[in-house]
């Protein structure tokens, strides 16, 4: 089932009186259970693509649909979409557990349920040890795992991650990629943007974004299914 659909999406950014085309006619479909990775250089439009896909930023042209619902209005994150931005992802002063609780309480989840979900999400993301620490006290890999846990507490069907392996120690990197692979195998649609080609490994679809143009297998039926795909246990 197509969960996310971008249809001929265009986006321009204006800065200091100049206008730059960031996304050009981008078309992309993503099914539940799929892991798609978009590789691009800096200023290729990769972060904008993710923000548009997550419904955070509205496109200038084209359509964005999530589970059949139009997201092109932009604004708040669409329900069912978890978004992990680069770096600490807005987690600063509070400890990680509080971050996970706040994300749920703001949506009216009762505290005992929120607490239980928070610990489950931390465990699923391999970030149990981070619960009582603030984002400043985490290393890069732990920060990414904590951010994934924060997204998971809302039980998203689509996870969108901006550069989840940037700055992550080489030996910790594949653990994060294995986790994202496993989340897709469990049924989530996962969309990643990255500047590191190493993050393309194990993806169902590898795409490239250059000067706002998306290339690769943009629809699931065009993707070659990987035989004997490694199923990660992380």
Partner 1 sequence: MRSPLNWALLGLVIQRPSYGYELVQRFERTYADAIELSSPSQIYTALDALQRRSLVEELCGEDAPAVVRQPKPHYRATAEGVHGYQEWLIAHLGDERRRSRLFACQLAALTPPVALAVIERYEQACLLQARGTPLAGAGEHPPDSASELAARLVGEQDRLAMGARLQWIAYARRELRAATHDRAPRR
200 binds partner 1 (CB under 8 A): yes
Which one of residues 100, 131, 148, 207 is an interface residue with partner 1 (CB under 8 A)?
207
222 binds partner 1 (CB under 8 A): no
For the bound state, the minimum distance from the C-beta of residue 148 to partner 1, rounded and expressed in Å, comes to 16
Contact indicator for 133, 105 with CB cutoff of 8 Å: no
For the bound state, the minimum distance from the C-beta of residue 126 to partner 1, rounded and expressed in Å, comes to 10
Which one of residues 145, 152, 205, 212 is an interface residue with partner 1 (CB under 8 A)?
205
Give the SS3 label for residue 231.
coil
165 binds partner 1 (CB under 8 A): no
27 binds partner 1 (CB under 8 A): no
- Among the residues of 18-136, which ranges form H helices? 46-53, 96-105, 111-124
For the bound state, the minimum distance from the C-beta of residue 113 to partner 1, rounded and expressed in Å, comes to 32
d(CA 191, CA 120): 22
Classify residue 185 by burial, with Cβ atoms within 10 Å: 0-12, 13-18, 19+: middle
Torsion sign (Cα): 173, 177, 180, 186: negative
Which one of residues 66, 181, 183, 193 is an interface residue with partner 1 (CB under 8 A)?
181
140 binds partner 1 (CB under 8 A): no
Contact indicator for 50, 37 with CB cutoff of 8 Å: no
Which value, to the nearest 10 degrees, does the dihedral of the CA atoms of residues 42, 44, 48, 49 take? -130
184 binds partner 1 (CB under 8 A): no
203 binds partner 1 (CB under 8 A): yes
* CB nearer to partner 1: pick between 76 and 228: 228
* Choices 9-17, 107-115, 116-124, 168-176; region in contact with partner 1 by CB under 8 A: 168-176
201 binds partner 1 (CB under 8 A): yes
215 binds partner 1 (CB under 8 A): yes
For the bound state, the minimum distance from the C-beta of residue 109 to partner 1, rounded and expressed in Å, comes to 33
Total residues in contact with partner 1, by rule CB under 8 A: 35
d(CA 8, CA 124): 35
d(CA 85, CA 13): 19
170 binds partner 1 (CB under 8 A): yes
2 binds partner 1 (CB under 8 A): no
Contact indicator for 141, 174 with CB cutoff of 8 Å: no
d(CA 198, CA 212): 21
Which DSSP category does 95 fall into? B
Sites of contact with partner 1 (CB under 8 A): 37, 39, 41, 44, 169-175, 177-178, 181, 196-198, 200-208, 210-211, 215-216, 224, 226, 230, 232, 234
């Amino acid at each position: 089932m197509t969960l996310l659909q971008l249809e001929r999406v265009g986006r321009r950014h204006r800065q200091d009186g100049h206008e730059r085309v960031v996304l050009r006619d981008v078309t992309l479909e993503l099914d539940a259970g799929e892991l798609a990775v978009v590789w691009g250089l800096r200023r290729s439009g990769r972060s904008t693509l993710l923000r548009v896909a997550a419904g955070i930023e509205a496109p200038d042209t084209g359509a964005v649909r999530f589970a059949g619902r139009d997201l092109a209005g932009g604004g708040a994150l669409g329900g069912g979409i978890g978004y992990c931005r680069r770096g600490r992802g807005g987690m600063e002063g509070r400890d990680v557990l509080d971050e996970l609780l706040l994300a749920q309480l703001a949506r009216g989840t009762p505290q005992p349920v929120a607490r239980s979900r928070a610990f489950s999400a931390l465990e699923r993301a391999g970030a149990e040890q981070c619960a009582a620490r603030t984002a400043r006290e985490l290393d890069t890999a732990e920060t990414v795992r904590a951010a994934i846990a924060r997204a998971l507490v809302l039980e998203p069907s689509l996870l969108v991650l901006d550069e989840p392996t940037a700055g992550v120690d080489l030996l910790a990197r594949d653990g994060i990629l294995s986790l994202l692979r496993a989340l897709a195998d469990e049924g989530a649609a996962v969309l990643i943007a990255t500047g590191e080609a190493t993050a393309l490994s194990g993806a169902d679809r590898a795409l490239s974004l250059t000067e706002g143009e998306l290339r690769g297998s943009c629809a699931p039926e065009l993707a070659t299914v990987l035989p004997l795909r490694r199923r990660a246990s992380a």
